[in-house]
């Protein structure tokens, strides 16, 4: 393993607002960041294109995209085109946009890359405020994943600890925006919309768009999102 001056971290980067902010936070903490995106058959492929741009803009050391056909399992509005993306505001319970085991799978892939890089730190932009209905955005899930990771790998056997960092898990969207702006994130290049068009322009109506827009309004800053 190379031993760079700065410790390495793997940062899960969807191309959305939250994960872009998390990349900026990880860089600000002094990590050499390796950005990882997962193409799991989601509708919003424009997010993946945005991830490559964000990764460069925020100074990641590298960016990889793993393709993975979760759509063949079905069960989510984000991967199954026969299920409509909700546009009527956030409902109680687990939303149809929940993708089974998504964060578990993405963290597992981050573990694999971290192990070959010799990295001990993984960052993920989960948020338990806006996505309170998602089981795998809760702090107790992250803690259990970290405990499992510390038994799963070569590094664990050799006594090194892996940490899963969730720096925006308990922040309101407006606070995430404020934090990112302080760190120089250009939110115009991020894409959050569940049904963005090929150019990354947002619908303005889905849950992700509503939460995002409210974040800029609450933070008292202009919304740089490109709407169609």
- The reply on whether position 156 binds a copy of itself by CB under 8 A is yes
- The reply on whether position 63 binds a copy of itself by CB under 8 A is no
Among 4, 30, 59, 67, binds a copy of itself (CB under 8 A): 67
- The reply on whether position 86 binds a copy of itself by CB under 8 A is no
Cα torsion angle, 130, 44, 215, 186, sign: positive
Among 6, 90, 94, 163, binds a copy of itself (CB under 8 A): 94
Q: What is the token pair recorded at 220?
A: 């008292």
Stretch that binds a copy of itself, among 24-32, 63-71, 84-92, 194-202 (CB under 8 A): 63-71
Give the nearest distance from C-beta 103 to a copy of itself in angstroms. 7
CA 21: distance to chain centroid? 9
The DSSP secondary structure of 142-203, one letter per residue, reads: HHHHHHHHHHHSHHHHTTPPPEEE-TTTT--HHHHHHHHHHTT--GGG----TT--TT--B-
Q: What is the dihedral of CA 7, 106, 211, 72, to 10 degrees?
A: 160
Of 140, 138, 107, nearest in space to 124 by CA? 107
Among 14, 42, 103, 190, binds a copy of itself (CB under 8 A): 103
Stretch that binds a copy of itself, among 111-119, 182-190, 200-208, 210-218 (CB under 8 A): 111-119
- The reply on whether position 7 binds a copy of itself by CB under 8 A is no
Among 87, 112, 174, 217, binds a copy of itself (CB under 8 A): 112
Distance of CA 177 to CAs 100, 174, 216, Å?
Answer: 28, 5, 7
- The reply on whether position 165 binds a copy of itself by CB under 8 A is no
C-alpha span between 134 and 168 (Å, rounded): 15
- The reply on whether position 104 binds a copy of itself by CB under 8 A is yes
- The reply on whether position 3 binds a copy of itself by CB under 8 A is no
Binding site for a copy of itself (CB under 8 A): 64, 66-70, 72-75, 94, 98-105, 108-109, 111-113, 115-116, 135-136, 138, 140-141, 144-145, 147-149, 151-154, 156-157
């Amino acid at each position: 393993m190379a031993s760079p001056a700065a410790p390495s971290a793997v940062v899960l980067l969807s191309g959305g607002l939250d994960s872009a902010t998390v990349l900026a936070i990880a860089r600000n903490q002094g990590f050499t960041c390796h950005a990882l995106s997962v193409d799991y058959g989601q509708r919003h492929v424009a997010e993946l294109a945005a991830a490559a741009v964000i990764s460069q803009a925020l100074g990641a050391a590298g960016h990889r995209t793993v393709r993975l056909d979760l759509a063949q399992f079905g069960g989510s509005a984000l991967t199954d085109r026969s299920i409509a993306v909700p546009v009527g505001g956030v409902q109680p319970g687990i939303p149809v946009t929940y993708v089974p085991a998504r964060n578990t799978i993405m963290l597992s892939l981050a573990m694999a890359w971290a192990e070959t890089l010799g990295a001990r730190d993984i960052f993920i932009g989960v948020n338990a405020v806006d996505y309170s209905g998602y089981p795998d955005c809760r702090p107790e899930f992250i803690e259990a994943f970290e405990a499992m990771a510390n038994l799963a790998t070569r590094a664990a056997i050799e006594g090194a600890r892996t940490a899963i960092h969730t720096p925006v898990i308990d922040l309101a969207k407006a606070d995430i925006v404020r934090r990112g702006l302080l760190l120089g994130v250009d939110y115009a290049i991020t894409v959050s919309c569940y049904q963005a068009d090929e150019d990354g322009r947002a619908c303005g109506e889905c849950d992700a768009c509503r939460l995002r827009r409210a974040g800029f309004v609450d933070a008292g800053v202009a919304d740089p999102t490109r709407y169609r």
